Amino acid sequence: MAQKPSIPKGTRDFSPAEVAKRNYIFSTIKTNFEKFGFQPIETPSFENSETLMGKYGEEGDRLIFKILNSGDYLSKADAKLLENRDSIKLTSHISEKALRYDLTVPFARYVVQHQNEIEFPFKRYQIQPVWRADRPQKGRFREFYQCDADVVGSNSLWQEVELVQLYDSVFSQLGLGGVTIKINNRKILSGIAEVIGASDKLIDFTVALDKLDKIGEDGVKKEMLEKGISETAIEKVQPLFNFTGTINEKIEKLANLLANSEEGMKGVNELQFICDNVTTLGLQTAFLDLDVTLARGLNYYTGAIFEVAAPKGVAMGSIGGGGRYDDLTGIFDAKNKMSGVGISFGLDRIALVMEEVGLFPEAVLATSKALFLNFGDKEALYAMKAIGKLRQKGIKVELYPDKSKIDKQFKHADRRGIPFAVIVGESEIEREEFGLKNLATGEQQKVDFATLVTLLQ
């Protein structure tokens, strides 16, 4: 019995219309990346496991797809680990490679490996798929594209200012106005952990805090207690759960809270610089907001943290995020710690949001402009000569391949959304003409080739 075809959970097939919409987003993002001076690179879909493991925190490591070694992958495995079914320790024996979890760590590896060929500061963009063994749900997939822009080799906070502008430029051009670019700083989170006496629990503290919008205040407090953070410490961070006001008012509150933390005040000053300059320069359609609960549980952020929320009224997780990582390259070269900062666009979620709001232009879905009907080989040859000339002029046209009933050919054009049909019979060949029918209005006319070009352009 034939097996019913299926695809793995968390993956998708894309129809021609869906691919056209995704390519529209890709093109818009790519155009803006290049407008801001970023250059493209590509890295392999899989990396050595040691490149990826330990870079995303405990939760991230669990979500990395491991690739089994080729051949008899159990032959080199430790017999005791096999007997004890110790899958965690066994993994390193049977899997030496893994699918990339994001584009940032592979980028850090690329920079260190090619540092003698790169001109710094290096502004790169990368648009490629990544994989995560996550639980699939709306807007969350196991295979999805990331669109990253990073600058490495510069400590300047002007890079953060430009990245906020880049977000604003892309979403404005896509017509997705009203997104909120949330910003925070890991130094502020470190300072808060310091002043409440929980510096040794920084990662646990930030990971829990980052889930505030998902599990609520009570859920966050419960997780913090489970991670060993005291009730006294949690009481001290109570103001963070209802942190309101303008950006300047929030920064002032943070300055008071972190007055005794040198690290925390560095974060406050960095935020002040970025927010002041973004405000002075202005944004087209996006909003900038300071979200002190924004933590992003990745270990490598050390300065500014970004996350983009869809416009109000659209139920969707973040559609972008990033931050500064002052020592990311140090994980591959301890002597050469280069500062970097980058952002990512969540293409799949952006597409879902644009679909929900109805933002895709009709032109994005345009298929062939005209279908030449097939009346036989003689007529098809005449049509193909015209088709070749039209294609040279950049006009998308095609010939129906089979000599079928004309009604069937018209229906094919209609189902494909092709606006015109070109009719070529014996009389058209004799007069060197073409019958052009508008399939929306039913209007039909006889035209010469020059007029055909004008009407189809």
Range from 204-218, 264-278, 321-335 that averages highest in pLDDT: 264-278
pLDDT of 430 higher than 60: yes
pTM: 0.86
pLDDT of 309 higher than 90: yes
At 84 the pLDDT is 64
Of 48, 112, 118, residue with least CA distance to 335: 112
Of 165, 178, 181, 145, residue with least CA distance to 345: 145
Q: Between the CA of residue 85 and those of 58, 61, 69, 79, what are the distances in Å?
A: 20, 19, 18, 10
Partners of 423 in the β-ladder: 435
Confidence of residue 83 (pLDDT cuts 50, 70, 90): low
pLDDT of 200 higher than 90: no
- Other Cβ atoms within 10 Å of 448 Cβ, number: 11
Question: In sequence order, which residues have a C-beta less than 8 Å from that of residue 352 and are 6 or more positions away?
Answer: 138, 139, 316
pLDDT of 425 higher than 70: yes
pLDDT of 289 higher than 80: yes
pLDDT of 50 higher than 80: yes
The whole-chain average pLDDT of the chain stands at: 91
At 86 the pLDDT is 65
Q: What is the mean pLDDT of residues 65-80?
A: 79
Q: What is the mean pLDDT of residues 399-420?
A: 95
- Other Cβ atoms within 10 Å of 428 Cβ, number: 19
Tokens 């980028």, residue? Answer: 107
pLDDT of 185 higher than 70: yes
Q: Does residue 413 contact residue 371 with C-beta atoms inside 8 Å?
A: yes
pLDDT of 380 higher than 90: yes
- Is 160 strand, coil or helix? helix
* Lookup: tokens for 138: 């709306």
- Is 448 strand, coil or helix? coil
